[in-house]
């Protein structure tokens, strides 16, 4: 039997609960599909600061590098908000992405038929649903650029620098184009080329790379217009490729069109097979220990891990089908429930999905 070593970075807030849900689903899926998963816990984020003084201990880095893949919960919370930037919980997340060479973030967003009434848009705008993927560059741009504070003409000021190399844009463009080839063949490159020089380089590089891929069409769209178009007609999009910050913001916008931010998984990938998989939502510390969180985004992140890192596509399909069936059967956590729904706890939703595997 094939065995896989999986690093678990449960993190803070609701992180431990949702990761436990995902590992339960992954473990049973492996049993049904003929492989096994060995899980190893490591610290990251606020809990790592509390126990070791840093948000990403060396033991965690070593454990992730020794694993076949990594499943992450969430990091951060008010407890650590006033720490210096260099040791905030979020710094650990940026560091592990960079250390593992994970420059691509795939964020799929689809409207499940059973949740159509939870979409924030009018029914006629999403009558046919939508299914898109945001390909977000993950280790460059303003989040990793030069930053600091200084004295300017009006007194103290702060700055963060947006910078992209041709190489960084080329590799993310290739991911977007190859992803589109497996889908509907359309790439929307999102930038702010009317203002930013980095976006002008982005635009010309994406078009040059797209010429290498047959059957691909590329359109350019300014980020502010993209934000409008996602509300106006999300079904027009297939693959959106964009920078680190723009992708971060637009994918959170998409979460509200799918019914809840608790529904969206993500995969962070590099050149190898090892990836880091996590829900796009945060640690939601006020819900920690209450059982009110939605585990679906983390469970679906586990399915993405099976598909992209472990080459277990049929097992990934099994999880996704179980989630779909649970929703069709009316299973709802608080964030996706209506007045006539029975509200399930995190553990109860997990059990509902386990029963449908």
Q: What is the pLDDT of residues 308-341, one digit of tens each?
A: 999 999 999 999 999 999 999 999 999 999 877 8
Q: Taking all residues of the chain, what is their mean pLDDT, rounded to a whole number?
A: 95
Q: Does 154 reside within a domain?
A: no
pLDDT at 56: 97
Among residues 252, 287, 324, 347, the one annotated as catalytic is: 252
147 in a structural domain? no
In a domain, 150, yes or no: no
Interval 243-293: pLDDT, tens: 999 999 998 898 888 888 899 999 999 988 899 999 999 999 999 999 999
**Nearest by Cα to 73 from 102, 93, 101, 94:** 93
Domain of residue 50 covers: 1-110+265-357
How far is it, in rounded angstroms, from Cα 133 to Cα 131? 7
CATH of the domain at 297: 3.40.718.10
The predicted pLDDT at position 129 comes to 83
pLDDT tens, position by position, 199-246: 999 999 999 999 999 999 999 999 999 999 999 999 999 999 999 999
pLDDT greater at residue 145 or residue 128: 145
| 104 and 1 within one domain | yes
Number of H helices, E strands in the chain: 11, 14
Q: What percent of the chain has pLDDT over 70?
A: 100
User: What pLDDT does 204 receive?
Assistant: 98
Alpha carbon distance 20, 73 (integer Å)? 9
Query: The domain that contains 226 carries what CATH number?
Result: 3.40.50
Residues for the chain: how many in total?
357
- What is the per-residue pLDDT for 307? 93
Examine the domain organization and report whether 177 and 241 are in the same domain. Answer: yes
Number of domains in the chain: 2
Instruction: Give strand pairing partners of 38.
Output: 5
CB 254 within 8 A of CB 230: yes
Does 128 have pLDDT greater than 80? no
Structure tokens at 195: 């203002």
Classify burial at 149, counting beta carbons within 10 Å of its beta carbon; exposed 0-12, middle 13-18, buried 19 or more.
Answer: exposed
- Cα dihedral 286, 289, 291, 293 in deg (nearest 10): 40
Same domain, 328 and 253: no
28 and 83 within one domain = yes
Q: 10, 91, 118, 192: which is the annotated catalytic residue?
A: 192
Q: Could you tell me the CA-to-CA distances from 127 to 112, 113, 115, 260 in Å, in that order?
A: 12, 10, 12, 18
User: Are residues 199 and 246 both part of a single domain?
Assistant: yes
Show which of 210, 230, 257 is a domain's final residue: 257
- Active-site annotation holds for 192: yes
Residues facing residue 109 across a β-bridge: 132
Residue 118 has pLDDT above 90, yes or no: no
Compute how many other C-beta atoms are within 10 angstroms of the C-beta atom of residue 197.
11
What is the pLDDT at residue 122? 85
CA angle (339, 341, 342) in 5-degree steps: 120
Which band of pLDDT confidence, cut at 50, 70 and 90, is reported for residue 116? Answer: confident
Active-site annotation holder among 4, 42, 103, 143: 143
* pLDDT for the residue 194: 98
Cα Dmax for the chain: 67
Candidate list 41, 81, 224, 317, residue with the active-site label: 224
N-term to C-term CA, the chain: 20
> Is the separation of the CB atoms in 100 and 309 below 8 Å?
no
Domain boundary (232, 257, 282) is at 257
Active-site annotation holder among 248, 277, 308, 335: 248
pLDDT attached to residue 136 = 96
329 belongs to the catalytic site? no
């Amino acid at each position: 039997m094939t065995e896989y070593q999986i690093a678990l970075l449960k993190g803070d807030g609701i992180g431990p609960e949702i990761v436990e849900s995902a590992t339960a689903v992954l473990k049973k899926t492996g049993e049904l599909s003929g492989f096994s998963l060995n899980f190893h816990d490591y610290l990251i984020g606020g809990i790592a600061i509390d126990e070791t003084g840093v948000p990403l201990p060396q033991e965690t880095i070593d454990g992730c590098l020794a694993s076949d893949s990594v499943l992450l919960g969430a990091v951060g919370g008010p407890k650590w908000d006033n720490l210096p930037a260099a040791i905030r919980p979020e710094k650990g997340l940026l560091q592990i992405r960079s250390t593992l060479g994970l420059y691509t973030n795939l964020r799929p967003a689809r409207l499940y038929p059973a949740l159509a009434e939870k979409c924030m848009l009018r029914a006629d705008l999403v009558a046919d649903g939508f299914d898109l993927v945001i390909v977000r560059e993950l280790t460059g741009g303003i989040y990793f650029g030069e930053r600091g504070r200084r004295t300017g003409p009006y007194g103290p000021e702060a700055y963060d620098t947006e910078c992209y190399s041709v190489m960084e844009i080329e590799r993310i463009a290739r991911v977007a184009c190859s992803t589109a080839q497996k889908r509907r063949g359309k790439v929307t490159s999102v930038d702010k080329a009317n203002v930013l020089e980095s976006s002008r380089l982005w635009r010309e590089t994406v078009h040059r790379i797209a010429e290498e891929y047959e059957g691909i069409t590329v359109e350019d769209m300014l980020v502010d217009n993209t934000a409008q178009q996602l509300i106006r007609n999300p079904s027009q999009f297939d693959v959106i490729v964009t920078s680190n910050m723009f992708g971060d913001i637009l994918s959170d916008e998409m979460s509200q069109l799918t019914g809840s931010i608790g529904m969206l998984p993500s995969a962070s990938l590099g050149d190898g097979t090892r990836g880091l998989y996590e829900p796009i939502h945060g640690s939601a510390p006020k819900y920690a220990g209450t059982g009110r969180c939605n585990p679906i985004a983390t469970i679906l992140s586990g399915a993405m891990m099976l598909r992209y890192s472990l080459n277990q596509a049929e097992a990934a399909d099994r999880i996704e089908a179980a989630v779909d069936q649970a929703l069709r059967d009316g299973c709802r956590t608080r964030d996706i429930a209506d007045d006539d729904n029975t509200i399930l706890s995190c553990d109860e939703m997990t059990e509902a999905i386990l029963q449908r595997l």
